[in-house]
Every structure is written in structure tokens, then in C-alpha cells.
A and B are shown apart, each in its own frame.
Chain A
Amino acid sequence: MIVSRRLLTSIAITLAILSMPLRLVAQSAGDSIRTHSFVLGIGSSHQLDTYLSPLNYTGYQVSFVRETLRMTRLAHRRVSFQTLWQGTFSQTSNISGTATDWGGHIGYDALWHYNWTPVQGLRLMAGGAIGADAGVLYNSRGGNNPAQGRVCVDLSASVMAIYKIRLWGLDLGVRYQANMPVAGVMFSPQFGQSYYEIGSGYADGNACFSYPGNAFSLWQQLTMDIPLGKYTVMRVGYLCDIRQSHVYGIKMHDRSHSFMIGFVKHFRKVKKAERKTSVIL
């Protein structure tokens, strides 16, 4: 796996820009706090798409996750609302190194969690999500089947646990989150159907119902938020993204493991009357 110096420099510059303080950073302002985070990741990718090739492809993946999280007024302010934007780019090769797959996808999820705080410092959350994802995988030497498109809309189950711990004189936030699609609709060509056929207006039955039995996927993230100075919180973590499907006889998996690093910001909603006196905390 070779990552160019230019890529690493770009990641560093992006993270540096994102780490610049905006306004009103505070974590103790209660329900009106909105948490925004942006993390970049790099890791390994293991792919299979039998529409393109029966061989496994392995390589690297770069990704980003942009997240917002806030409490809502639902259920006596016990329901939080989270949005997740995710994007990836991967480059993988077959075992003999004679072909390359380039892939990428972008997805959006809106999640609602019910919150419990069973003990001081621990927050448990469980809920559901609605999301959409679109992507493509291109094989460098395919003929009439050079690429595979992926589009899906699904409902997911989601759980999260956040634990605040004080270590080395720092208030650290450790978080685990897992999302699993439970029902949805996904696009797929039929077993031997060409995109030429679909593009010629002969698309038929290319949308199918997906559930864990034919498209078991799991998105897991383990992160730690580390305060750096007064205004900056750094997030490091591990992302395990498993996407799979087996529909119309086409087997697909895309399993990635990434190291993530980025920054977190906490915003407090400011009412008009407060604006005149608001300061950076």
C-alpha cells in the first residue's frame, strides 16, 4: 500500500483548517449544544463483486465521516438527532496484480436515538435511521461489464454508547456506535444483465428488497475525543465498515478497516438576546 506524500499533506492541511476554533465552544450548556465533527480515515479494503470478477481484491481506502449530533425536544428531551455524511475512495488489486478496481461511494444517514444515562458519565443510546448510499466500482479491464453501480435506501437499527472518563488529567470521551441496515431497497443488475441493456430502456426488476438475510451490512465506529487546549477537541478512532449483498446471484462485499482522525466542535445555539453578549468561551 503506497500513500503519496501529497495525499498525506492534503489530509494534514484539511485537518489543520478544521481544527481552527469557530465560536462558542462549550460542552456544559445542556440541550442546546450541537456537536459537529469531521474525521478522515485511511485503512485497508477487501472487495468482491462477482459481476466484475470472481476474485477478491485488496488495497487501501480513504474515507471521511462528517457528523452532527444534537438533542431534540422529543420524549422529554431524551431523543437525540444525528446526521452522518460518509464518503470513501478505494483502490484495490487482484491477487496477481493484473487488474485494479477503483471504487467510491457517498452516503447520508439521519438517525434518532433514545438516550439513557444509567450511571454517571455513561450515556447509552438506541434508535433507528433512514439513509441513502450511492457508489460505483470500476474494473480496469472489464469489457461490457466494466463497472458496477450501487444505490440503496434503507432503514437501520443503531446503538451508541458514550463514556466520559478522566485520564492523564484530561476529560476524554470514548464512544462506540454500530449501525445495521434492517430493511431497504437496493439497485442491482440481474445476474448476467449488461448496463447496455439497462441503459437501452430494458431495466426490469433492478430494484430489490434488502434485509440482513441478503444484504448483511454493519457500520461500527470506536472513537476517543481528546481535548487539545481550550477550544480544540481531537477525535481518533477505528472505523469498521462492512457492506455486503447477495442478490440476483451477484455476490458483493466491501469490508474496510480504517484509522480515523479529525476534530470535534461543540456549538451552543444562541438566542437573539444573548448574541450581543456572547463571547468565545
Chain B
Amino acid sequence: MKRLYLIILSVLTLASCVDEVQFENTPEGNMEALWKIIDEHYCFLDYKAEAIGLDWNEVHGRYRGMLSNNMTSPQLQEVLCNMLGELQDGHVNLYTAADVGRYWAWKEDYPSNLNEEIREAYLGKDYRIAAGLYYRILDDNVGYIVYHSFSSGIGEGNIAEVLHHLRLCSGLIIDVRGNGGGQLDYAQRLASHFTNERILTGYRSYKIGTGHSDFSELSPEYLEPSTTIRWQKPAIVLTNRGCYSATNTFVRDMLCCPNVRTLGDRTGGGGGMPFTSELPNGWLVRFSACPQYDKQKQHIEFGIAPTIPCKLKAEDVAKGKDTLIEAARKLLRE
């Protein structure tokens, strides 16, 4: 009986109010709230400590000293955005009513290897549009598809129609330069037309606790072949630093498909599915929460190297030519 009382007492002691620390809506409170959100939920703290020497505790001390109680809202935003900038992550944003804090060095610090006007010239005026896919057959019988954003939806029917139209081409160029991502489903849907069997494309995991190393076991990610038209000829994906997030995953998946190569620059990265949270003053923060890996179990947060490195040459631009498209056409003609 005594034991029963002890058990009941233990349960009642454990049973208490479930609450979370509520920080004050002050510069200090907002900074502490933001630091804690990243400290507990951001998924690359360990990886970036190793890759770029990030020390999140040191960041706390350094930015804590920049705060004052009478600082203005734009000043606070600047400090907090700079603090988030230490993460070097394009998926990290601070949304306020006045601005979106961002880190875009992953593309702005590198040549774009893309001239939009010249790309439009390759498409000409009689190109076709199937949902988010812009496409045509180039003069040398090479199929050319431009996909500007994975936020533009595509269905199986769209892709099947496009590939059917291009079926007699000797090869296919898929130009995703400047595609900053969008829906992962569309990326996988398009990639599924380039494999005849189920293939391993990578892994993913998620945080299971507040510790920097608290992750689930890696779950394999597979690409299932489409049940409609599947491309059987060579294909080249054009990439640049503007390929981010879902496009980064698309490039990862395409590299696992037979007959597919990538040409251009390293992708921008963005290998973590973002979550959102918020600060006491109502500002919204977005951050990477679930990391993705390639099939060698390596992070893809800092991008994926191309199979064939290629840069846009100024002399080609002067002639109205796109070095990457021309290089891809040459490879597909061989």
C-alpha cells in the first residue's frame, strides 16, 4: 500500500503545467528568443562548426553586446539579421513588416553564368509552355527545356506532353539556372521521367531533440520511375549558383539517373527543409530544420558540384551565345 501511495505521489509530482519560457518583447528578449530557436531547432550547427568554424555560443556573446534598450526596430533587425547571417544559409530569413532579412551570398558572391536575354533568344518566340516548363527544339535537333521555378506546378501530363514533343531529339537540355526552388514534389516528379527503375537518391533526417547532434537515423530517399513517358537518351542539366533548395535536390536526384550529367557551376545549396517560428515582437524567422544528404550520405547544404564545370564566357555573350548551352549541345551531338 505504501508503494502505491509513492507511485501516485510520483505521478502527481511529475504532472504539472506544461509551459515554455516566454521572453520579454525587448531587444534582449527578442535576441534571446531567436538565439534559442536556432540553438534548439537549426539542423546544421554541428556541420557548420566543422565546415565553416561556426561557434553558436560565441555568436551569442558577440551579438548580445550589440544590444541596447533604446535601439530602434530597424537597428534591432540589423543586429539580428547579422547574427543569422553567421549561419550562411539561404533558407534563414527574418521577416518583419518592413523588410526580409536574408543571406544571399550563396549566389550574389559568384558569377551567375546566366544571361537572361541570351537564354530568351535561344527560346525564340515560338517556344511552347507546359505549366512551368518552357521548351522548344533547337536547330541541331536538341530539345531545350527551361524551368524557372519549382513553385510553378507541373503535372505528369505536362511532362509527358513535353517529352513526347521532344521524342525525336538527339538529346535534351534542362536549364534550371536561377531556379531558386519551390515544391519538392515537382522536382521529384520531373526527375522521375529519367529513370526506368527505383533508385536511391539520398537520405534525410530530422532533429529528435534540442541538442545540436540530436538527429534521427538517416532515412533513404528513393526516386520511383514515372509510369508515363520516360526519357531514354542523353540529358544534360544546366546549373549555376542560383540553383537552390528544391532545385538543389532536383540536381541531386538527376545525377543518380542514367544518361544524365550536369554542366555549369556548383549549385547554390540549401539542403535543409525550412521550418518557421516567431519572436515575441511578432517577427517571423525561417530556418533549416530537416537536413538532406546525397547517396554518399554527405550534406548538400553548400551545393553540388557539376559533372562538367563550365563558365559563361564574356566573348560568347558578346556574340549572343550562351557558353553552357553551346557546350551542352556539342556534347549531345557527339
Please give the distance in Å from B324's CB to the nearest CB on chain A.
Answer: 32
B88 interface hit (Cβ, 8 Å): no
- From B21, B219, B277, B280, contact of A95 by CB (8 A): B280
Chain B's closest residue to A193 (CB) is: B206
Per the bound structure, the CA–CA distance linking A252 and B11 in Å amounts to: 19
Bound complex: CA A97 to CA B283 (Å): 11
Binary contact readout B40-63 vs A (1 if CB under 8 angstroms, 0 otherwise) = 010100000000000000000000
List the B residue with the shortest CB-CB distance to A197.
Answer: B206
Query: Chain B residues near A193 (CB, 8 Å)?
Result: 206, 208, 216, 290
Chain B: CB-nearest residue to A213 = B14
Contacts of B25 in A (CB 8 A): 95-96
Q: A212-B14, A213-B15 are in contact. Are A191 and B22 (CB under 8 A)?
A: no
Contact yes or no, A54 B210, CB < 8 A? no
Interface stretch, picked from A14-22, A116-124, A136-144, A227-235, is: A136-144
A152-B29 Cα distance, complex, nearest whole Å = 35
Question: Is B282 an interface residue when CB atoms closer than 8 A count as contact?
Answer: yes
Known contacts A197-B290, A253-B18, A211 near B11 by CB under 8 Å: yes
Q: How far is the CA of A194 from the CA of B41 in the complex (A)?
A: 12
B87 at the interface (CB under 8 A from A): no
A212 to B10, CA, bound (A): 10
A32 on the B face (CB < 8 A): no
- Kindly name the residue among B21, B33, B208 whose own CB sees the greatest number of chain A CB atoms within 10 A: B208
Query: Which residue of chain B has the shortest Cβ distance to A242 in the bound complex?
Result: B17
B154 to chain A, nearest CB (A): 18
Of A96, A192, A213, A253, which one neighbours B289 at CB under 8 angstroms? A192
User: Does residue A115 face the partner (Cβ distance < 8 Å to B)?
Assistant: no
Note all chain A residues with C-beta closer than 8 A to B12: 212
Interface residues of A in 30-49 (CB under 8 A from B): 48
B37: chain A residues at CB < 8 Å are 54
Interface contact A196-B184, CB-CB below 8 Å: yes
Interface residue range, chain B? 35 or more
Partner pick for A191 among B14, B33, B214, CB 8 A cutoff: B214
Which A residues from 189 to 228 make CB contacts under 8 A with B?
190-194, 196-197, 202, 204, 211-214, 216
> Which of chain B's residues have a CB closer than 8 A to the CB of A56?
20, 22
A53 at the interface (CB under 8 A from B): yes
CB distance from A137 to the nearest CB of B (A): 15
A246, CB-defined interface residue at 8 Å: yes
Give CA–CA (A104, B104) in the complex, Å: 39
| Chain A interface size range | 35 or more
* Interface flag for B16 (CB, 8 Å): yes
Residues of B within 8 A of A216 (CB): 14-16, 18
- Inter-subunit contact B18/A191 (CB<8 Å): no
B268-288 CB mask vs A (1 if < 8 Å, else 0) is 000001111110111110100
B275 to chain A minimum Cβ distance, whole angstroms, is 5
Task: Give the complex CA separation of A95 and B33 in angstroms.
Answer: 14
Q: How far is the CA of A185 from the CA of B81 in the complex (A)?
A: 42
- Tell me, rounded to whole Å, the shortest Cβ–Cβ distance linking B88 to chain A: 20
Task: Check if B11 sits within 8 Å of A192, measured CB to CB.
Answer: no
A154 to B63, CA, bound (A): 47
> Complex: how many Å from CA A121 to CA B136?
87
**B17/A244 in contact, CB under 8 A:** yes
List chain A residues, Cβ under 8 A from B16.
216
Q: Which of B21, B214, B278 contacts A94 (CB 8 A)?
A: B278
Q: A48 and B18 in contact (CB under 8 A), knowing A54-B37, A211-B11, A249-B209? A: yes
In the complex, chain A residues whose CB is within 8 Å of the CB of B109: none
State whether A142 and B208 are in contact (beta carbons under 8 Å apart), knowing that A194-B290, A251-B19 are contacts in the complex.
no
Indicate if A55 sits at the interface (CB-CB under 8 A).
Answer: yes
Are A246 and B280 neighbours in the complex by a CB distance under 8 Å? no
- Answer yes or no: A50 CB below 8 A from chain B CBs: yes
> Can you spell out 21 A-B residue pairs with CB atoms less than 8 angstroms apart?
A50-B20, A53-B277, A54-B36, A55-B280, A94-B282, A96-B280, A96-B281, A143-B276, A144-B274, A144-B289, A190-B208, A191-B208, A191-B210, A191-B214, A192-B207, A192-B290, A211-B11, A212-B11, A212-B14, A251-B20, A253-B18
- Interface set of A (CB-CB < 8 Å, partner B): 48, 50, 53-56, 94-99, 141-145, 190-194, 196-197, 202, 204, 211-214, 216, 244-246, 248-249, 251-253
A-B contacts besides A191-B208, A197-B219, 15 pairs, CB < 8 Å: A48-B18, A54-B277, A55-B22, A55-B278, A95-B282, A96-B280, A141-B278, A142-B275, A145-B275, A190-B208, A191-B206, A191-B207, A197-B206, A212-B11, A216-B14
